[in-house]
Structure 1
């Protein structure tokens, strides 16, 4: 899997459920710890826009991620966009990484 940025809006009544399902993915990631996977998810200030940044393998195999995707189409208010990306750099605390 190449790095990707996924962005979408949910219906207002689905935003909390969407966040709960994403939190379940992170809970499973904490125990499964797939090697080489980088995954971040953000809920924007409007409360209904979500952005996911994923780089690496292993996310689709997680039961919580499969559950998140199961009815995603029903939660959406519009189209989902997915863009391939190239990592320029990343910083997490005292650890900076760059790809060339």
Structure 2
């Protein structure tokens, strides 16, 4: 399963979102869940975030407390609901 998640947060919530994302990555480093590749990017407008995930299924991230906190905060922080897009890889170079 490969997905892209796009979220646009309100400017006053950017720092909060960054703190919560860093907590997610700190927990991922500790837990090191199998079957997960996850990367987040902040776009140049500073309020749009894009995450790419390759995972065996959504159950890989859901049990992590830091991810639960981040996901719950998105409901308060976002200008619009996060958009989930399923991806079908055509090709890649140096990504794996």
TM range (shorter): 0.7 to 0.9
Alignment match of 1:76 (pick from 75, 78, 91): 78
The residue that corresponds to 1:89 in the other structure is 92
Q: Which has the higher contact order (CA 8 A, sep 6+)?
A: 2
The residue that corresponds to 2:26 in the other structure is 27
User: Displaced runs of 4+ in structure 1, greater than 4 A?
Assistant: none
Task: Name structure 1 gaps, 5 residues minimum.
Answer: none
Q: CA deviation at 1:90?
A: 5.1
CA RMSD across the alignment: 1.3
Q: TM-score, normalised by structure 1?
A: 0.84
- The count of aligned residue pairs is 92
Q: TM-score, normalised by structure 2?
A: 0.88
Task: Name structure 2 gaps, 5 residues minimum.
Answer: none
Alignment match of 1:66 (pick from 48, 65, 68): 68
